A and B are shown apart, each in its own frame.
Chain A
């Protein structure tokens, strides 16, 4: 009876959502772990088969609730490929800017939650306060703070409001100063290093074998970043560096995310400069009406079958704040997608928990899982 299984979750401050980590312990030491996901499964892929192409965007915001615009971008790229529609260039730059702002928002949220996991309360408040500025910007051009419903097949819903670029530049300058402050609070702190150094090691080969992507893979020294390796939208026209580190531990993941936020600000500034110089349409000129067409009236569904629209497949992959996400859409010519499939980076990152948790102490689990950046919404879908 010296060894036992304990449940961390589904309601546990470490989980940041609804999932359960079963831990096999001998006293303090972790012998084995068994992550259980699925508590937040809402059947988003199945619901998508009953929605028009544009209406699926409403589900994407609920898919990952801290990176909604990144998931909208992922879905829209795939849907446009399946439907054979090309967005105007300005819309692509707005999407790039949105995704980078979303990366800032998501990483700030991660920072706030992570430092709270290792017991620092004050940085949590600063992280949440600064994330609010990013949400303010989102509200000014999408109309909502978390459920944006902004991107559409063939472009984006509306153009940026007047004065938006100036406000964004002010927020960027402000955030750059705050990152210095975060480093003073964490990297210069003995408490931080005692809690984080050398924990949760996962080598690059293990990451590749388990499909672990994103900041976790880059913290192991890899330069894999889809924005560089397979540029989508306007990412081939912006300059930025891929953030890497080679500790492969919790501190290295902190360094990678902090550097990614600085690079995001760099990308945003380039995008804002481009958007200032190039006004234009944000919606493709010829988008089939049926993308926003009404539902089939009850009792008269047959008329939908008379349509004869192009069929196609769509496959897209983006570098989401948590890792590499993919979407696959089958368009069989109907009003709704025939099949929608998403690949969530968080699912792969949590599934490899045995590799980076076994051998450490039970009190090390919160910082390690915090450094993974769990978003259960997209993991369970």
Chain B
């Protein structure tokens, strides 16, 4: 019946009792094993993330591997180190579910308010794109997974609440994306620039400096352009490619591109 490459069916015994007895014996053996070493855990009392418990439980249940080694990479609730956050918006931009809002937290000066992510776990899909995008490594994912609340509003974690998670020193997802060598940078379209200083003012890493450029008078017959004779220069090594400068530019003269 079976073709080559497929195992033959086990030889059926002539005695019809064996047709039922053999499967029953297999199941009975498993049942006997489960009486001594159950495969399941009693969840609220036994927890996989408990370091004293997690190495023993799986091996004791007869499984080939323990669960301790698999646990540390888990992507759960975020931890935010508010102190090192540079308000670059990259986490909010990279979120596919749009569940991150940047809210003002104390600590900034009036001209540059400090903004940190506020995460709505009702929407979050735990994809980890935000922690991959974070250039400072201050937004990471921890192994915490218990989130149930009675109110929806409690699913929204403010920066202060995320900082509490950070202070618990849970094991954080240590695996971070290997950032590729960046091909693209932020480029300037010089004729459009009016030198308004908006990009330099809002850059979270202060990597944009405004330099003086030579004044060129209007051609005869043209109206003189409204222009401050300055132009931004972006330091590529400090730039985290957050795109804040592009979004604040009133003349759309900054854009993504390759320098070569």
Contact = CB atoms under 8 A, between A and B. Distances in A.
A206 interface: no
Interface string B51-94: 00000001000011101011101110000000000000110011
Interface string A186-227: 111111000000000000000000000000000001000000
A285 B177 CA distance: 13
Contacts of A43: none
A363 interface: no
Contact of A143 (B75, B94, B249): B75
B183 interface: yes
B25 to A, nearest CB: 8
A157 B67 CA distance: 22
A293 B6 CA distance: 49
A51 B256 CA distance: 18
Contacts of B89: 294
A32 interface: no
A144 B74 contact: yes
B243 A297 contact: yes
Contact of B180 (A147, A181, A287): A287
A149 B23 contact: no
Interface stretch (B107-115, B125-133, B223-231): B125-133
Listed residue (A58, A283, A293) with the most chain B CB atoms within 10 angstroms of its CB: A293
Contacts of B73: 139-143, 161
B3 A122 contact: no
Contact of A290 (B9, B18, B75, B256): B256
B6 A256 contact: yes
Contacts of A246: 1-3
Nearest to A55: B96
Contacts of A142: 73
Contacts of A259: 5-7
Given A144-B74, A161-B73, A300 B20 contact: no
B148 to A, nearest CB: 18
6 contacts: A147-B125, A255-B2, A258-B7, A292-B132, A306-B257, A307-B256
A139 B20 contact: no
A269 B203 CA distance: 50
A72 to B, nearest CB: 12
Contacts of B128: 143, 149, 157
Listed residue (B94, B177, B256) with the most chain A CB atoms within 10 angstroms of its CB: B256
Interface in B102-143: 125-129, 132-133, 141
B70 A140 contact: yes
A47 to B, nearest CB: 9
A242 B5 contact: yes
A133 interface: yes
Contacts of B257: 306-308
Nearest to A187: B9
A302 to B, nearest CB: 5
Contacts of A306: 189, 255, 257
Contact of A190 (B5, B19, B27): B19
Contact of A181 (B10, B26, B90, B243): B26
B117 to A, nearest CB: 14
A33 to B, nearest CB: 27
Please provide the 8 A-B residue pairs with the shortest distance between their CB atoms, ordered closest to farther. Answer: A294-B93, A297-B247, A190-B19, A289-B184, A140-B70, A170-B64, A287-B180, A158-B175
Interface in B223-254: 241-243, 246-247, 249, 252, 254
Interface in A137-159: 137, 139-144, 147, 149, 152, 154-155, 157-159
B22 interface: yes
Given A158-B176, A163-B69, A283-B180, A55 B256 contact: no
A300 B247 contact: yes
A181 B176 CA distance: 40
Contacts of B133: 292
A185 B29 CA distance: 12
